[in-house]
């Protein structure tokens, strides 16, 4: 079954603390993994995609095929990072372009 | 505005009524997606178009739901005989076929409340 699991509904950290939002997936094939972020009253927007291996706003995510994980990390959280974060996968190499989303993790960065 | 737009932003209707939502994708995008999001859940895929062809439909899309993209540009999602369980945020997204990474751009959503 194709599935994305985000085990934490809510993650609270203090400003300056490291952050790790977990994402595990189940997919038979070669998925593409994404992290989307939704700030308060804004639309979903792309934060990271695994194929570009980039760092955005200090966030990084590495695809671990052995552990089927794509955890999102940031060494020092900022208050403006408070938002809802969704992990998603698609399988374009299999002709599957839809996204399968996790249930999301709300990150709260405390002052 | 070059982003994905959706209308209306909010819709309140009574059970049993029909509703229609519109999505205007980014102009050069040939793929268009509809998702539904309920409280506490991530978006769930409903259906997907490439140009005017509807290529995939979720089992979530019951017979009361129909989507069209008549000229490969804007799309409409119609729900007939609405039920309270249809209350949700309906999201539209678009992407460009030639992008290797399949990045999808999302609209602001239409929030449906069925009384």
pLDDT of residue B100: 67
pLDDT score of B115 more than 70? yes
Q: Which residues of B touch A93 (CB under 8 A)?
A: none
- Partner B contacted by A53 (CB < 8 A): no
Q: Do A101 and B44 touch (CB under 8 A)?
A: yes
| Average confidence (pLDDT) over B36-57 | 94
Closest CA to A7 of A60, A72, A53: A72
Distance, in Å, from the CA atom of A37 to the CA atom of A66, rounded to the nearest integer, reads 25
- Partner B contacted by A9 (CB < 8 A): yes
DSSP assignment string, chain B? --S-EEE-SEEEE-TT--EEEEEE--TT--EEEEEEE-TTS--EEEEEEETTEEEEE-TTS-TTEEEE-TTSS-EEEEESS--GGG-EEEEEEEE-TT-TT---EE---EEEEE-
Task: Give the residue, B99 or B15, on which the prediction is more confident.
Answer: B15
Q: Which residues of A touch B104 (CB under 8 A)?
A: 46, 99
Q: Which residues of A touch B43 (CB under 8 A)?
A: 44, 86, 99, 101
Neighbours of B111 (CB within 10 A): 15
CA closest to B43 among chain A residues: A101
- Partner B contacted by A33 (CB < 8 A): no
Per-residue pLDDT reduced to its tens digit, B56-106:
999 888 899 999 999 889 999 999 999 999 999 999 999 987 766 788 999
Per-residue pLDDT reduced to its tens digit, A1-40:
789 999 999 999 999 999 999 999 998 888 899 999 999 9
């Amino acid at each position: 079954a194709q599935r994305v699991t985000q085990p934490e509904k809510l993650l609270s950290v203090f400003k300056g603390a490291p952050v790790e939002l977990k994402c595990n997936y189940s997919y038979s094939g070669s998925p593409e993994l994404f992290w989307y972020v939704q700030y308060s009253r804004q639309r979903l927007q792309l934060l990271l995609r695994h194929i570009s291996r980039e760092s955005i706003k200090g966030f990084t995510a590495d695809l671990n095929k052995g552990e089927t994980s794509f955890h999102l990390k940031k060494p020092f959280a900022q208050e403006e990072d408070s938002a809802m974060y969704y992990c998603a996968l698609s399988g374009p190499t299999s002709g599957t372009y839809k996204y399968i989303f996790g249930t999301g993790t709300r990150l709260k960065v405390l002052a | 505005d070059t982003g994905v737009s959706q209308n209306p932003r909010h819709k309140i209707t009574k059970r049993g009524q029909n509703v229609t939502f519109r999505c205007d994708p980014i102009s050069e995008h040939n793929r268009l997606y509809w998702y539904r999001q309920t409280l506490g859940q991530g978006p769930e895929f409903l259906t997907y178009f490439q140009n005017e062809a509807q290529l995939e439909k979720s089992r979530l899309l019951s017979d009361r739901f129909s989507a069209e993209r008549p000229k490969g540009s804007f799309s409409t999602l119609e729900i007939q005989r609405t039920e309270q369980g249809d209350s949700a945020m309906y999201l539209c997204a678009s992407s460009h076929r030639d992008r290797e990474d399949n990045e999808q751009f999302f609209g602001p959503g239409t929030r449906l409340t069925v009384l």
